[in-house]
Chain A
Amino acid sequence: MADVTMERPVIQTADGVPLKTKLRVTTRNNRLKAFGLVIPLLAFVLIAFIFPIGSMLLRSVDNSLLPSLLPRTAAALQEWDGQGIPDEATFAIFAEEMVAARKARTIGRVATRVNFERSGMRSTFTKSARRLAKVEAGPWKEALIKIDKKWGEQGTWTTLKVLSEPLTLTHYLAALDLKYDDDLSIVSEAEDRQIYVPLFLRTLWVSLGITVLCLLLGYPIAFLMATLPVRISNLLMILVLLPFWTSLLVRTTSWIVMLQTEGVLNDIMVALGLISDESRVQMIYNMTGTVVAMTHILLPFMVLPLYSVMKTISPSYVRAARSLGATPATAFFRVYFPNTIPGIGAGSLLVFILSIGYYITPALVGGRTGQLISNLIAFHMQKSLNWGLAGALGALLLGGVLALYILYNRIVGVDNMKLG
Chain B
Amino acid sequence: MALPPYAGAGERAWYYGFRFFCGLVFLFLIAPILIIVPLSFNAEPYFTFTPGMLSLSPDAFSLRWYEDIFRNEQWIQAVQNSVIIGVSATIIATALGTLAALGLSRPFMPFRTVIMGLLISPMIVPIIISAAGMYFFYSNVGLAQTYPGLILAHAALGTPFVVITVTATLVGFDHSLTRASASLGASPPTTFFKVIVPLILPGVISGGLFAFITSFDEVVAVLFLSGPAQTTIPRQMWSGIREQISPTILAVATVLICVSIALLATLELLRRRNERMRGIRAA
Contact B49–A357 (Cβ < 8 Å): no
Residues of A with C-beta under 8 A to B153: 48
**A139 close to chain B: CB less than 8 A:** no
**A360 close to chain B: CB less than 8 A:** yes
Q: Which residue of B lies closest to A375 (CB)?
A: B128
The listed residue with most A CB atoms (<10 A of its CB), out of B46, B47, B224, is: B47
Residues of B with C-beta under 8 A to A353: 124
Chain A binder among B55-63, B65-73, B177-185, B250-258: B250-258
**A150 close to chain B: CB less than 8 A:** no
Main secondary structure of the interface of B (DSSP, over half): helix
Residue in contact with B33 in the complex, picked from A218, A243, A256, A378, CB distance below 8 Å? A243
**A328 close to chain B: CB less than 8 A:** yes
Q: For chain B, which range describes its interface: under 10, 10 to 19, 20 to 34, or 35 or more residues?
A: 35 or more
**B146 close to chain A: CB less than 8 A:** no
CA distance A358 to B92 in the complex (A): 26
B197-239 toward A: CB 8 Å interface, digit per residue (1/0)? Answer: 0000000001000100100110110001000000000100110
Contact A238–B264 (Cβ < 8 Å): yes
Residue in contact with A243 in the complex, picked from B19, B29, B256, CB distance below 8 Å? B29
Q: Which residue of A lies closest to B34 (CB)?
A: A254
**A108 close to chain B: CB less than 8 A:** no
* Chain B min CB distance to A313 (Å): 12
Residue in contact with A249 in the complex, picked from B14, B25, B119, B234, CB distance below 8 Å? B234
Contact B126–A397 (Cβ < 8 Å): yes
Contact B125–A398 (Cβ < 8 Å): yes
CA distance A239 to B26 in the complex (A): 7
Contact B99–A360 (Cβ < 8 Å): no
Residue in contact with A364 in the complex, picked from B99, B156, B241, CB distance below 8 Å? B241
Instruction: Contacts A245-B213, A254-B33, A359-B220 given; indicate if A420 touches B267 (C-beta within 8 A).
Output: yes
Residues of A with C-beta under 8 A to B11: 328
Contact B125–A41 (Cβ < 8 Å): no
CA distance A187 to B35 in the complex (A): 53
Chain B binder among A8-16, A110-118, A257-265: A257-265
Instruction: Contacts A56-B136, A253-B237 given; indicate if A243 touches B96 (C-beta within 8 A).
Output: no
Supplied contacts A30-B108, A40-B96, A409-B117, 6 more A-B pairs, CB within 8 Å:
A56-B129, A236-B26, A253-B241, A254-B35, A398-B125, A401-B126
List the 4 closest pairs (A to B, CB-CB), nearest first: A357-B126, A37-B103, A52-B137, A254-B32
B residues within 8 Å of A by Cβ? 1, 11, 14, 18-19, 21-22, 25-26, 28-33, 35-36, 39, 46-49, 92, 96-97, 99-100, 102-104, 106-110, 115-122, 124-130, 132-138, 152-153, 155-156, 159, 161, 163-165, 167-168, 171, 206, 210, 213, 216-217, 219-220, 224, 234, 237-238, 241-242, 245, 249-250, 253, 256-257, 260-261, 263-264, 267, 282-283
